[in-house]
Structure formats: structure tokens, C-alpha cells
Amino acid sequence: MSNILIVDDSGTMRKIIMRGIRQAGYKVDSFKEAGDGLQGLEQLDKGAVDLILSDVNMPNMNGLDFVKAVRGKYGNKTPIVMITTEGSNEVVNEARTSGANGYLKKPFTPEKIQEVLGPLLS
């Protein structure tokens, strides 16, 4: 169905996100992983993906700067969903202003993943 890039500085969290996507019922051809925004850009240089999920708080290049870089380099074609423990309106608005299409707050359920990803993957 799709190729998904997960950008998070926690390897454990990347695995939890992958499991959550599968539990939500999505068939994924491949997951690409990156530990920060710079690595995420390197992954995108290797090939396009159908969806990007990115943490906000990461070293080297945070998620908001990563979104801006992706939008500047690749345009708006690929949906981006931010994932973070911060759910303040300020952070959500900044993510959307940066070019994110959606937002998931940790912890999340498979149902919440479906609610956020469904419109982006249909």
C-alpha cells in the first residue's frame, strides 16, 4: 500500500509507531527510519515516500525545521504528520504553519492513528 518514513530520535518510539500503524490496519510496503531531521532528508534523497511521520523535539534538526525543509525541497505532495508529547495549540499551529498535514499526540491508540492517517492515505 505505502512507504512510510518515521523520523524520531527514539528507536523504541519508531518501533511503537510502526506497530501502531499496523494495528490500525494499514498495509505498509516498507518503513524507512531516521533519528533526526537531517537523517530524514537523507532518506528522502534516496527515494520518495507516501507519508512522513515526524517527532517535533529532536537533536540536530527538529521536526518543525524538518517539515519546512521537506516542503522547500520536495513541495507539498507528501503528507506529513507530526508526533509529539506536546499538544499545546501553539505547537499544533506552528506545525501546521510549517507545512504539516496532521498531528498525533503521544500516547496514541490505533483508532487515533486511523482518524489522523485515514484522510491522508485515501
Residue 1 confidence (pLDDT): 55
**Percent share of the chain, pLDDT over 70:** 98
Task: Encode pLDDT of 43-102 as tens digits.
Answer: 999 999 999 999 999 999 999 999 999 999 999 999 999 998 866 778 888 888 889 999
Average pLDDT over residues 10-39: 94
Q: What is the mean pLDDT of residues 7-31?
A: 93
Q: What is the CATH number of the domain that holds 36?
A: 3.40.50.2300
Domain tally for the chain? 1
- What average pLDDT does the segment 21-44 reach? 94
Q: Which residues of 16-39 are buried (b: 16+ CB within 10 A; e: fewer)?
A: bbbebbeebebeeeebbbbbbbbb
Pairwise pLDDT comparison (110 vs 52), residue with the higher score? 52
Host domain of residue 49:
3-118
